[in-house]
Amino acid sequence: MEQTSHFNDFLKDVVNLPQSKLDHLDARVERIFTALKAADLGTRVLGMKKQGSWAQRTIINPAEDAEFDADFMLELEEHDGWSPADYQAPVLAALEAYVEAQSINTPAEAKNRCVRVTYANDMHVDVVPYVNRDPEGQCILNTDTNGWEETDPDGFTQWVKDKNAIAKGNMKLVLRLLKYVRDHRGYYSETKSVILTTIVGNLITDETARIHPGCYDNVSRALHRIATDLADWVRYQSIRPEVDDPSPNSSTSFTRRWLQSEYDDFRRDIQTVADLVDAAINTNTSWSDSTEKWRELFGDSFGPSDAGSNSSKFPATGAGAGAAGTELTSTRSGRAG
């Protein structure tokens, strides 16, 4: 059964990041940005914009004792003679001073493409400096190589919006559910959000909607279609496939962010997930039986509290459980998230 009302409640009450946390995030980012504008960085701050899950509205509630994260792009004026590392150093110094002034316990931390501000037991914000360079366009820095990487975050976000429109608004909801399965249930735990978003979006097409009428009509149907398509996509690809940035003004490849071992885990786990989704959506014996099937994937937080209990990760799946196929199945009864 599709369990539309249960999915709506599950997203609203369990999966989605509460508005209060989003408001808190907005306020913290505004304070960070204000501090950076006031600091002497040696070059001008020209603006900022949201990036990643925050911009695409696919951010979810983190697992217990875990942080949620958000990125924003910090546009800096190009400075003649500066290397990428020269842009990051003053941003790090300014955020170190900000963290000290705000009595934040964790020091600001330089990463290879950003500077991180961490709030204890809550969240972290990654500040990603970038420069509009001629003729490349928008470029983020990479201090590991002391080089530039082309980027098009606005183009990526628009691509997600276009794919979400094909999926009748359900791509974003399915991505939140797939992230919940990753972060809270232990499946494909090392696959990064940008990879997950890209491979899901690549599979959402007008052609798919034409061949499978109604497949994106609600969140459970969309989850069923997307999980099945993901399982079909990986089934006969033992070697990690290339994953390119779909943004129109970027030549970046995301493949380096997906190790072969991480792909191997994803390949195995997404087939298990697809089988569970197929079994749940096709269980028509009773409402409670269907809810129990969905709980094999999502855990006890799905559906009403009196629907039974199934909190184990990686539940067993019977032979022929789903149209997604069973070439690879998990042999584990559980795994730490």
CB environment 33-50: b (16+ within 10 A), e (fewer) = bebbeebebebebeebeb
Report residue 47 CA to chain centroid gap.
24
Classify burial at 314, counting beta carbons within 10 Å of its beta carbon; exposed 0-12, middle 13-18, buried 19 or more: buried
Q: Where are the domains of the chain?
A: 17-151, 156-298
3-state secondary structure 12-35: HHHHECCHHHHHHHHHHHHHHHHH
pLDDT along the chain (337 residues), means of 10: 96 96 94 98 96 94 89 96 95 98 95 94 92 91 92 94 98 98 97 98 98 98 98 97 93 93 98 98 94 97 72 37 36 31
* Topology of domain 17-151, CATH: Beta Polymerase; domain 2 (3.30.460)
- Please tell me the predicted confidence (pLDDT) of residue 251: 83
Tell me how far apart the alpha carbons of residues 213 and 207 are, in angstroms, rounded to a whole number: 10
Of 320, 224, 232, the residue nearest 3 (C-alpha): 224
What are the structure tokens assigned to 28, written together? 């913290």
CATH class, range 156-298: mainly alpha
Q: Give the predicted TM-score (pTM) of the model.
A: 0.88
> Under 8 Å CB-to-CB from 100, ≥6 apart: which residues?
none
Output the CA torsion sign for 107, 110, 111, 117: positive
